[in-house]
A and B are shown apart, each in its own frame.
Chain A
Amino acid sequence: MKKLLTEWLKPAAWGTLILMCAMSMGHAAENTQNTSDVPQPNVTAIKGGKCVENTEFMRKNHMKLLMHHRITAVHKGDNQLADKYSIINCVNCHANPKDNSVVGPGDFCQSCHAYAAVKITCFECHSSKPSATPSPFHATTSMVGATGKDPHATMVHYLAYHEHPQNLNSGLSAKDLAGVTQ
């Protein structure tokens, strides 16, 4: 037993200490980021109000939602216009009326992607202009009523399909699903 203490617990205690130090340093860095002079992207959402999910969720996960919809729409035949996570709906709400686009300089997608130096290849194929026939979805209306599809089921389908629910950190909590069903 004594041997166990000396050989296992001691290094384990050291490891925990080091880990806690690292975590607290990371936390400190996070705190200083908001107050520093680091330039922030200047993003205009165009249409105000609620997006399909809350802003923080969308900032972190919009690419996952798009990737999901890319699979369901192309391979499974999901209705592009009815699914609120479709790229068509992004463009319809976020296109800048000045140039009728989301990818011009200062437009919604481009302003953040230029800041993050991430190339947007979506619009080499997808239209960067609002669709001619407006989609039945609007953020303030109920998805179930408009299309007969249950967004809660869509979300569960997404999480199941990708088999990594933990990556979509706030995805499956009761709070967020409540937000989805509105």
Chain B
Amino acid sequence: MSDIDNYRRRFMTGVVGVAATVSLPAGLLFWQTAEGKSNDDAGLASAKTRWGMLIDTTKCATGCDACVRGCDQENGLSGKTSPTSPQWIRKVQVSNPSTGNGFSLPMMCQHCEEPPCVDVCPTGASFKRADGIVLVDRHICIGCRYCMMACPYKARSFIHQPVTDQLAEVPRGQGCVESCTFCVQRIDEGKTTTACQDACNAEGHQAIYFGDLKDPNSEISKQLAQYSSQEVLPNLDLHTGVRYQGI
């Protein structure tokens, strides 16, 4: 074997040794990562829960907008209804022209299981949390409004004007899209009611149920099991988290 071959052999052995030394801590790092991730999920949004809402339109009063006002107050919205004002809940009056029968219902983000807004978002800002709540990460949102066009419920709003005096727990600002969050700040604090539900109950209508759809003992699950309810636009197969009775 020539000197050159010997030299090459030693050199290659050295290279392999260095590579092994470098990759070993990296491997340990990944091991540590895997362990860390499975560590503390307590108190965070979990797929064991799916938050949902049931609205009983037979109890929802025509002309009442308590839920809208409750939402505005909880989330620091202006309460204006101009075309450029963000609205998270809209009261909608529905009527059947052939029979004259009509009723009223609140329409907001339906928190779909398969949300079209998430499908179209080019940046990943629109996302669904593990517990089924569909949100916008405003840090990532570029304000393109594709999600607003994709939403079949017209549930999302764009903030056109600079916002001042936001609430500490509900950060919101110009240039982002937003919609109903199921009062996510309350849920993360461990509460289990939404502002619209509280406002509706305070008004004495009791038309809104909110709770965990995966818990068979929750009030909403019992209601859903007992009475017939429907999604809006069920043909889209979005499996919404919000369901309506009496539509």
Contact = CB atoms under 8 A, between A and B. Distances in A.
B171 to A, nearest CB: 4
Interface stretch (A10-18, A31-39, A51-59, A124-132): A124-132
Contacts of B45: 76-77
Interface string B100-126: 000000000000000000000000000
A127 B190 CA distance: 22
Main secondary structure of the interface of B (DSSP, over half): loop
A153 interface: yes
A22 interface: no
A130 B36 contact: no
B36 A161 contact: yes
A127 B129 CA distance: 24
B44 A132 contact: no
A72 B130 CA distance: 12
Given A80-B185, A163-B29, A75 B127 contact: yes
B33 A160 contact: yes
A160 B135 CA distance: 24
A126 B37 contact: no
Interface in A66-91: 70, 72-82, 88, 91
B185 A127 contact: no
Contact of B172 (A3, A75, A125): A125
Contacts of B162: 124
A86 to B, nearest CB: 9
B44 A126 contact: no
Interface range on chain B (Cβ under 8 Å from partner): 35 or more
Interface in A110-150: 124-127, 129-132, 148-150
B167 interface: yes
B172 A160 contact: no
A63 interface: no
Contact of A160 (B37, B130, B139): B37
A129 B167 CA distance: 9
Interface in B24-38: 29-30, 32-33, 35-37
B12 interface: no
Contacts of A154: 40
B167 A156 contact: no
Nearest to B133: A77
A87 to B, nearest CB: 8
Contacts of B35: 160
A29 interface: no
Contacts of A47: none
Contact of B40 (A77, A129, A156): A156
Contacts of A88: 168-169
Interface of B: 3, 7, 10, 29-30, 32-33, 35-37, 39-40, 42-45, 127, 129-131, 135, 137-139, 162-163, 165-169, 171-174, 176, 184-185, 187-190
7 contacts: A73-B188, A75-B127, A77-B44, A77-B45, A125-B171, A125-B173, A156-B39
Q: Which 6 A-B pairs have the closest CB atoms?
A: A160-B36, A77-B45, A131-B168, A125-B173, A153-B40, A125-B171
Given A78-B43, A79-B189, 9 more contacts: A124-B173, A125-B166, A125-B171, A127-B167, A129-B168, A149-B42, A153-B39, A156-B40, A160-B32
